[in-house]
Amino acid sequence: MANPTNKSGTEHTSNPTSTTGRPGDQNRGGNQNWGSDKSHEGTTGGVMTAVKDKVQDMASNVADVAGRAKDTVQDWASSAADAAGNAKDRVKEMASTAADTAGEWGTAARDKAEEWGDDITGLIRRYPIGALFCGLGIGFLMGQMMRRSN
């Protein structure tokens, strides 16, 4: 609806009408449409933007913390694997050393037994009658020990 004009061709403003078409709404803010007020939208939009930014920051922080936790766990797992590998190597080395030592002792015992066998054989050949009586005495003593244990 167009505003009425006076005789001079200028608009008549004594009783202005608002965009709603009701006289006097202009003084009460009737020409404002609160649903599309830009200042109100700016406040709501600003809050929404701030909330959105905070949520994105929190998500980024959570992702950073999760990434650091993952790296820490991987470091721990790597350290544990290294320690297990080192322990395995040490056990292998110790087992190898023990086997070598046992082999050396076995060889030494065998050599010593061969020496004693050679010495006893030499004594038996040198003193056959004494060896015979010595064998009879050892047999008699063993028989006595076996009879007492039963």
Domain boundaries, the chain: 41-149
Q: Which two tokens stand for residue 92?
A: 């292998």
Q: Are the beta carbons of 2 and 16 closer than 8 angstroms?
A: no
Tens digit of pLDDT for each residue in 80-113?
Answer: 888 888 998 999 999 999 999 999 999 999 999 9
Residue 97, amino acid: T
Per the model's pLDDT, the better-predicted residue between 34 and 134 turns out to be 134
Number of Cα atoms under 13 Å in the Cβ half of residue 111: 6
Chain centroid, CA 97 distance in Å: 34
Tens digit of pLDDT for each residue in 44-58?
Answer: 778 888 888 888 889
Put simply, whether the predicted model's pTM sits higher than 0.85 gets the answer no
Q: Which of 11-20, 46-55, 66-75, 126-135 has the lowest mean pLDDT?
A: 11-20
Per the model's pLDDT, the better-predicted residue between 136 and 59 turns out to be 136
* Residues near 11 by beta carbon (within 8 Å), at least 6 away in sequence: 3, 4, 5
Q: From the DSSP assignment, how many helices (H) and strands (E) are in the chain?
A: 2, 0
pLDDT at residue 77 is higher than 80: yes
Mean pLDDT calculated for residue range 20-44? 51
- Rounded Cα distance between 111 and 103, Å, is 12
- Rounded Cα distance between 150 and 139, Å, is 17
